[in-house]
Structure 1
Amino acid sequence: MPVEKPRSEYRQVVALLRAAIADGEFPPGALLPAEPVLAERFGVTRATVNRALAMLRTEGLVRPERGRGTTVNELPIIRRESAGRQAQGVREAEGSRGAFDAEIRGLGLVPEAVVSVAEVAAPAEVALLLGVEAGEPVLARVREMSADGVPVQLATSYLPLGIVGGTRIAEVDTGPGGTYSRLGELGYAPVEFTETVRVRTPAEDEVVALRMDEDQRVFAITRVAVAEGGRVVEVNRIVAPAHQWELVFS
């Protein structure tokens, strides 16, 4: 179907490709035709097709595959319910290792997290939130998280060593329900959460880890978990592709 005037040609191509994807002509994971083929199909130049695909990549609807071409994003939008996801029954559902694990399983996808755990010097902003001195040792849990093999989130949790040192939280596998369930067993169950959300471009290492384009956007979330008595028990810095997630606050 050729494009029409007077709307800019590349925006018309964007709309036509969106419709083709929505109608199932190009299902999730499908390889789009090469740029010359699309140019002939829509009666436009290859440069116009290239610009249209760049916009669709920025939105996250398609992504480049090195050595293959451009494919349709194989993952659905992930709905992240800021409060409800932290309920114990949700975090521990069917042996899930926390909220992320449960979210991804709930979509019928396979969650995976590459986890590293270490004692680190508390960054100044984290130390202020945790109520410790800047540079004081804290436990850091670093996770690279994926769904069906596609990276969708990076997260680093900082926790007070005086509470979690030598416990299962200091191990790679924290068990069913994840860190918050173990904190509950230690008498520090989080009862309040505050999340601060910013939208920004990804850093160089995030571009690589999340397989993003440099001009795409991420949600940068800082979550602070507070136990009874006002003790901050975790500061979690989360980075997630904005096109892949829907944030819900209730």
Structure 2
Amino acid sequence: MPANDSPDVRPLHQRIAADLRDEIMSGELEPGASLPSTARLKERFQASNATIQKALQLLKAEQLAVGRPGAAVTVREHRQQTMRPADFGQPAEAAKPYRWLTEAAKRGRKGSIKLLAVGEVSPPREIAKLLDLPDGETAVMRHQLLSLDGEPAELVTSYYPSDLARGTALAEERKIRGGTPTLLAELGYPPKETVDRVSARVPTQEQWEALQLPSELPVIRTLRVVYSHNERPIEATVMAKAGHLYELQYEFD
């Protein structure tokens, strides 16, 4: 079908970038490989030179491709990271830091955590329902930005029932050694079950800015609820990651 007759209403350069992005992220175009020449891309997509260059510029901005004027555009060394949620939900080993840091180190990367805000708040309706909070009940919120090698990786907002968190380190504006799973276990609420709901969302303004997103690519949004004894919900967390840089791996028996 000619490009101008496509039912896809996105600008042509965005459609071209979408097809090439999929080939990069699926491994069809391997790291270090040259993208097809401008002439071949013009023929394939029935597009002008300027349109092809705009598409390639998007891929460069997303750090999926790299190139200089007069040189071939190549696939950047694969930056998409596979995250295993099961690696982060359990309490850290004794005297060890939060698993975000230790798991990053296992992969040869440097993890860091920036605490953005802590406070007792009226949680979003969705969160209040998941935590079984009565109408008008507050929750303790912890808002953090997790980074890898100095680049923002995940924006995290966690909520805890106030009757559980008030007066503990969860309500204090400081980092918690070992992470919140460790502290919850020490408080007598070890995580027993975790339920994740994963979706793709258009980034909010805060997510777009905090994650330094290059365009309107979707974020991976994970809504996690952690349960302790007697199926009591003890934590509800919203996590957002750049959709073009991360994928989630779940394993089932």
Normalising by structure 2, report the TM-score. 0.73
- Return closer, same or farther for 1:129/1:14 CA change in 2, 3 Å cut-off: closer
- Return closer, same or farther for 1:71/1:173 CA change in 2, 3 Å cut-off: farther
Find the counterpart in structure 1 of residue 105 from structure 2: 105
- Return closer, same or farther for 1:71/1:154 CA change in 2, 3 Å cut-off: farther
> What is the DSSP-based 3-state SS (H/G/I as helix, E as strand, rest coil) of the residue aligned with 1:235?
strand
Query: Contact 2:31–2:77 (CA<8 Å) still a contact in 1?
Result: no
Find the counterpart in structure 2 of residue 248 from structure 1: 249
| CA root-mean-square deviation | 3.5
- Deviation, 1:182, is 0.6
Matches within 5 A, 1:104-183: 104-115=104-115, 116-171=117-172, 172-176=174-178, 178-183=179-184
* CA shift digits 1:90-143 (9 cap, x unpaired): x34872223x22332222111112112111112211111111124422110000
Query: Contact 2:122–2:137 (CA<8 Å) still a contact in 1?
Result: yes
Q: Distance in 2 between matches of 1:245 and 1:93?
A: 29
Q: Residue 51 of structure 1 aligns to which amino acid in structure 2?
A: A
Q: Distance in 1 between matches of 2:132 and 2:142?
A: 18
Identity between Structure 1 and Structure 2 (%)? 25
Q: Distance in 1 between matches of 2:198 and 2:61?
A: 23
- Return closer, same or farther for 1:20/1:194 CA change in 2, 3 Å cut-off: closer
Q: Distance in 2 between matches of 1:219 and 1:226?
A: 22
Query: Contact 1:191–1:225 (CA<8 Å) still a contact in 2?
Result: yes
- Return closer, same or farther for 1:158/1:183 CA change in 2, 3 Å cut-off: same
Q: Distance in 2 between matches of 1:20 and 1:126?
A: 41
**Greater fraction strand:** 1
Matches within 5 A, 1:217-228: 217-228=218-229
Residues 1:81 and 2:84 are matched in the alignment = yes
Q: Number of residue pairs matched? A: 219
- Deviation, 1:159, is 0.3
Query: Contact 1:202–1:214 (CA<8 Å) still a contact in 2?
Result: no
Gaps of 5+ in 2: 1-11, 43-47, 67-72
Find the counterpart in structure 1 of residue 64 from structure 2: 61
Gaps of 5+ in 1: 1-7, 26-37, 64-69
Q: Distance in 2 between matches of 1:94 and 1:75?
A: 34
Matches within 5 A, 1:47-58: 47-55=51-59, 57=61
- Deviation, 1:47, is 3.2
* CA shift digits 1:4-31 (9 cap, x unpaired): xxxx9967x959x969971278xxxxxx
Q: Distance in 2 between matches of 1:201 and 1:175?
A: 33
> What is the DSSP-based 3-state SS (H/G/I as helix, E as strand, rest coil) of the residue aligned with 1:133?
coil
- Deviation, 1:167, is 1.4
- Deviation, 1:230, is 1.0
- Deviation, 1:62, is 4.4
Q: Distance in 2 between matches of 1:230 and 1:209?
A: 34
Q: Distance in 2 between matches of 1:211 and 1:203?
A: 12
Residues 1:197 and 2:198 are matched in the alignment = yes
- Return closer, same or farther for 1:147/1:228 CA change in 2, 3 Å cut-off: same
Q: Distance in 1 between matches of 2:222 and 2:167?
A: 28
- Return closer, same or farther for 1:166/1:73 CA change in 2, 3 Å cut-off: farther
Query: Contact 1:39–1:46 (CA<8 Å) still a contact in 2?
Result: no
Find the counterpart in structure 2 of residue 66 from structure 1: none
Q: Distance in 2 between matches of 1:76 and 1:55?
A: 12
Q: Distance in 1 between matches of 2:77 and 2:219?
A: 18
